[in-house]
Amino acid sequence: MGKILFLHGYTQSGALFSKKSAALRKALLKLGFAASYPTAPIKLALPDSADPEERAELEGQGIDDDSYGWWVKDEEKQEYVGLDKTWAFLAEYIKKEGPFDGAVGFSQGAALAGMLCSQVTKIAPDHPPFKFAVMYSGFRSPLPQHNYIYNPLISTPTLHVLGSLDTVVSEQRSKTLIDACEKDKRVVYMHPGGHFVPSSREALNTVTGWILTTVEASKAPADAANDDDEWESDFDNIGGGNL
């Protein structure tokens, strides 16, 4: 049916995210969707100069010799270091591997998926707008220099998956991304878990069902697209509804 861009979280890689989202990937494959897992261009290697205490701290953050990120936040300068490198990387990747129907992102990858909803046609002019985006434990960039990304609001249909026990990305932090999406195009699903991609039957059915419905709706004639009451009745209140 189509291809989906899977964007891993901070300290992960494409290969690792493929393993961690295997249940979702296989469920989508049964529906005809192929998954593509790029690895971020910024390597988060442990510095050779780090003393044992520094290495232990970095390893505690999940950083090892096979860790990558889409950017590194410089708290002092209030900057996403490497984001420009990520845009250039994705422009080439999308051109080579696309087109993609939509994106699925986790944590930092979910934040990037939100950005891509408004930026994909800018970094890859020949690529059509995404039909959907699924954000697991996502968040909005808090940096004022990125406000242009969310203004106007993200118009791509979005599904935000939050863990009720997530202590890494809080519900309030995820709400900043939810609020950056058009209200009638966003749906929220809360699962009873932490900072991971849930693989329960309910979670898989919710996500795959929403993707399938959203893609099918995008194929409908323009005059039928205005009939949004039925679309909202199916998904408006799943797992807690819109925040």
Beta bridge partners of 92: none
Reduced to 3 states (helix: H, G, I; strand: E, B; else coil), residue 69 is: strand
- Radius of gyration of the chain measured on its C-alpha atoms: 18
Strands (E), 86-225: 102-106, 132-136, 158-163, 186-191
Q: Is 48 a catalytic residue?
A: no
**Exposure of 242 by Cβ count < 10 A (0-12 exposed, 13-18 middle, 19+ buried)?**
middle
Q: Is 233 a catalytic residue?
A: no
List the one residue out of 81, 144, 88, 157 whose CA is nearest residue 117.
157
Amino acid letter, 24: L
List the one residue out of 91, 102, 84 whose CA is nearest residue 6.
102
CB 57 within 8 A of CB 51: no
Of the listed 195, 199, 218, 236, which one is catalytic?
Answer: 195
Q: Show Cβ contacts of residue 56 under 8 Å, excluding neighbours closer than 6 positions.
A: none
Of the listed 8, 118, 141, 166, which one is catalytic?
Answer: 166
CB 133 within 8 A of CB 158: yes
Q: Is 66 a catalytic residue?
A: no
Of the listed 13, 67, 107, 118, which one is catalytic?
Answer: 107
> Token match 């096979």: residue?
66
Beta bridge partners of 187: 159
DSSP element (H, E) containing 54? helix 52-60
Return the active site residues: 107, 166, 195
